[in-house]
Structure 1
Amino acid sequence: MKILVIGGNGTIGKKVSNYLMTKHEVIIGGRLSGDVKIDISKSESIENCFSQIGKLDAIVCIAGEAKWDAFKNLTEEDYYIGLKSKLMGQVNVVRIGSKYLNPKGSITLSTGILADYPVEKTTSAAMVNGAIHSFVKAVDLEIENEIRINVVSLGVVQDAYEKYKDYFPGHNPIPTDKVINSYIKSIEGKNRGQIIRYYD
């Protein structure tokens, strides 16, 4: 398969990309580095990226940001960071990218445990993650050309555990094999409209 991995040089993206490269043709997309440049917060950047690459068999998005801060500190503009980047960024990857997918292709988005189990300072991030889950279930009913769409929702991954462990007391870090397998389930499996959760 010919697969675009957006965010393929990130903490999770690099592990997923390295595995996929053993079996498939992988194109790395990133805001700052990669085979192609893509900023998912800008529709024109998404369109330019896909027009450069042409037809694909799968799209994987492991990108997007949201503001972490106490609810009392969050401004309207702070919420727009997550809405424009992680939420609408991934929505636009589906909206634009689906036109470049071969029939029966797949799209895999990314969220996280906050959609189901939020912690302090994650009001914005949790809201965005939950919205993506609802979007995936709804768009699966209408997306054309037998395209499959799923979202991977992970707990705190092993490589980022030290950075985030104070936010997630008592949570078990997600090992690399579970991280990779969650994306493989979406890309190479038959799932569609699913939230693929690995929280423990």
Structure 2
Amino acid sequence: MKKRILVIGGTGIIGSAVAEVLEVKHEVIRASRKGTVHVDLDDANTIHKLFGSIGKLDAIVCTAQSGKLTPWHSDHWEADFSFGLKKLIGQIMMLRRAITNLNDDGSVTLTSGAFKTPSPGSSVGHLVNVGLEGFVRHAAIEMPRGIRLNIVSPGWVRESLIRLGMDPTKGTLASEVARSYVEAIEGSANGQILIP
């Protein structure tokens, strides 16, 4: 059955891969900071404007991400910590507003990104990502009208590592990561952390 799906972060590496896979079977709307359909999760006004104009949806995917590798003892830690928290707060604000646009039995899939192995500068990002994962596990049981809530934790994505000038062999291809989002939308999972 064809679904109407919003992909927030739809012009980024992961969002583009997710949208491309979904567009084969579904109607996909790509939204981003720089796209034709504009939304910035750091700006509540753009979230309200988006959902005030977009109409009913069957699913929402949020791949919009912010974060930096920041050593906790850095002179810039407080600013980088606040910046990282925007990822958590923005996705939760978006979810709260999006519920009214979702049809019964719809789904929302958020994005975390906790890494299995600690690395220097990852403590802030890990705090934010594990916080998002905990939120999803608990908030999923509070979703109304059969709406399902899940989260994908892609870890390092190969294309992102290339862009950062890092070793790409430790990353997963964006096209493989996209399958986890499709599984969250088309499957029956609820309150789950999907790891590609």
Q: TM-score, with normalisation over the residues of structure 2?
A: 0.91
Q: Alignment partner of 2:64: what SS?
A: coil
Which amino acid in structure 2 is aligned with residue 65 of structure 1? S
Counterpart Cα distance in 1 of 2:50 and 2:110: 17
Query: Mapping of 1:154-193 within 5 angstroms?
Result: 154-163=154-163, 166=166, 172-193=170-191
Deviates more, 1:61-70 or 1:44-53: 61-70
Cα deviation per residue 1:41-87 (whole Å; 9 max; x = unaligned)?
12221111011101110000000202322211143232111112x10
Q: How many angstroms does 1:165 deviate by?
A: 7.2
Inter-partner Cα distance in structure 1 for 2:77 and 2:164: 23
Q: What is the CA–CA distance in structure 1 between the aligned matches of 2:42 and 2:57, rounded to whole Å? A: 21
CA distance in 2, matches of 1:48, 1:102: 19
Alignment correspondent of 1:89:
90
Q: Deviations over 1:112-134 (max 9, x none)?
A: 133x4331112211110010000
Distance 1:118 1:50, change over 3 A: farther
Aligned-partner SS, 1:79:
helix
Helix, strand or coil for the counterpart of 1:178?
helix
In the TM superposition, residue 12 of structure 1 has moved relative to its aligned partner by: 1.0
Q: Could you say what secondary structure the match of 1:159 adopts? A: helix
Contact 1:152/1:182 (8 A) holds in 2: yes
Partner residue of 1:4 out of 6, 26, 49: 6
Residue 64 to residue 172, structure 1, CA distance change in 2 (3 Å)? closer
Equivalent position of 2:18 in the other structure: 16
SS in 2 for 1:191: coil
Q: How many residues align?
A: 193
Spell out, residue by residue over 1:24-47, the C-alpha distance to the aligned partner (whole angstroms, 9 max, x if none). Answer: 01101011113x100011222111
- CA-CA distance at 1:163 after TM superposition: 4.2
Q: Which amino acid aligns with 1:112?
A: G
Cα distance in 2 between the residues matched to 1:177 and 1:62: 14
Residue identity matched to 2:13 = T
Superposed displacement of residue 164, structure 1: 5.0
Kindly state the Cα deviation for residue 161 of structure 1 after the two structures are TM-superposed: 2.6
Structure 1 gaps, min length 5? none
Residue in 2 that maps onto 1:67: 68
**SS of equivalent to 2:142:** coil
The answer (yes or no) to whether the contact 2:66–2:84 under 8 Å persists in 1 is: yes
Unmatched segments (≥5 aa) in structure 2: none
* 2:51 alignment partner in structure 1: 50
